[in-house]
Copies of this chain bind each other. A is one copy, B any other.
Amino acid sequence: MTKRNAFYAQSGGVTAVINATACGLIETARHRAGQIDTVFAGHNGILGALHEELIDTSQESARTIAALRHTPAGAFGSARYKLKGLQENRAEYERLFKVFDAHNIGYFFYNGGGDSQDTTHKVAQLGEQLGYPITCIGIPKTVDNDLPGTDSCPGFGSVAKYIAVSTREAGLDVASMAKTSTKVFILETMGRHAGWIAAAAGLAQELPGEPPHLILLPEIPFDRERFLSRVEQTVQELGYCVVVASEGTRNADGAFLADQGSGKDAFGHTQLGGVAPVIARLINDTLGYKYHYAIADYLQRAARHIASRTDVEQAYAVGQAAVEFALAGKNAIMLTITRLSDDPYRWQVGEARLAEVANVERKLPAEYISEDGLHITAQCRRYLSPLIAGEDYPPYENGLPSYARLRRCMVDKKLPRFEGN
């Protein structure tokens, strides 16, 4: 059989370690050069396939590819672009196959969240229908940790570590100033529908009374009175109160506290941000406490400087496994992280059928949330703790992390322009 090329694309919100996955995938493909030809990376994710904008990764030096392991964000460009259903927009899928065919692409590696697993599944189905031989492997990536079928998602451990570290640090700051200054500090985290990131802040608390004191999760409807009374009680007892609030915190009627009403993104998700000021104002209006708040926003998911070593290793491993599983004949699967034990933490790469993981969101289970709904349980700690373990510092130059700069050489186009989106 002639060697075939691979297509790799990054999809959706980027993470501190998605490039570590790219690194694992490309390095492994290079080691397996006898069986797999060039890895073409989609420029701006799947759009790169639609528009035949393929980055030739063979033009990047081994050193640059190695540096991807410690470089945050999406080195090839990611995209929030969801392919519509096969019925609705068959043209897009057919275009993909034209591009694959023009460039002898026999492997489709798609690195993203739930929507991307759905796309990978559809590509696999259509390949079969069209009789086009293509191996489709979904590679998990999401800071939200909301993919089913995997114990954890590469990208989550690092944002979890960043939020836990930041909560501990800012908590010390507030504690030391509370006598004459800020009484309530609120840290807003990402996590639209699942509270995993906010929950990770709970790891910062080692002894009773340490921050964070209250965690607001999307899974638990916001109970104004209960929350305010807990804030007041905490300030009275400790002199201050640190709150970690997920951007997805909602009222009992399901409405986001922070809903900006400013439209939706390409996946139909409401654009959020700003629950912290809403809560700060509520506290100030009712309890009168001086407050401060931080909105970590992209800082949290780009924070490669404080990435979790576990997360980096898992991100690399799923990239590596994508090639190895594909060459071993696997198809239509998403790679997963299987936990073998909590302590010592042991894990391996496993697989799940795409059909089973596409479009399913995994929320924080009830047993991970304390009875009052405002903190995490010991069981949750056991789950989260190994995911933030270990540091994996990038190299520094002149006081700043030295991140990969790619050449991004484009493969010559062979097809007419795509007239779709």
CB of A282 closer than 8 Å to a CB of B: no
How many chain copies? 2
User: Would you list which residues of chain A between 304 and 319 have a CB under 8 Å from chain B?
Assistant: 304-306, 308
Distance (whole angstroms) from the CB of A304 to the closest CB of chain B: 6
List the one stretch of A24-32, A71-79, A220-228, A330-338 in contact with chain B.
A71-79
Q: Is the CB of A180 within 8 A of B266?
A: yes
Q: Is the CB of B294 within 8 A of A298?
A: yes
Chain B residue contacts of A174, Cβ below 8 A: 298
Interface string of A158-196 (1 = CB under 8 A from B): 000100111011101111110111100101000000000
List the one stretch of A145-153, A357-365, A369-377, A386-394 in contact with chain B.
A386-394
Chain B residue contacts of A274, Cβ below 8 A: 277
Distance (whole angstroms) from the CB of A178 to the closest CB of chain B: 8
Q: Is the CB of B306 within 8 A of A180?
A: no
Q: Is the CB of B172 within 8 A of A72?
A: yes
Q: How many angstroms between the C-alpha atoms of A308 and B396 in the bound complex?
A: 12
The size class of the interface chain A forms with chain B is 35 or more
Q: How many angstroms between the C-alpha atoms of A385 and B390 in the bound complex?
A: 29
Q: Is the CB of B79 within 8 A of A180?
A: yes
In-complex Cβ contact of A173 among B176, B180, B298 (8 A): B298
Q: Is the CB of A385 within 8 A of B401?
A: no
Q: How many angstroms between the C-alpha atoms of A277 and B71 in the bound complex?
A: 28
Interface string of A377-420 (1 = CB under 8 A from B): 00000000110111101001011110100000000000000000
Q: How many angstroms between the C-alpha atoms of A274 and B292 in the bound complex?
A: 10
Q: Is the CB of B168 within 8 A of A299?
A: no
Q: Is the CB of A72 within 8 A of B277?
A: no
Which 6 pairs of residues, A with B, have the shortest CB-CB distance?
A74-B176, A388-B399, A73-B172, A294-B297, A169-B302, A173-B302
Excluding A79-B181, A166-B303, A203-B398, 13 further A-B contacts by CB distance (< 8 Å) are A44-B180, A75-B176, A79-B177, A79-B180, A80-B180, A161-B399, A165-B400, A168-B403, A170-B299, A173-B301, A180-B266, A293-B297, A386-B399
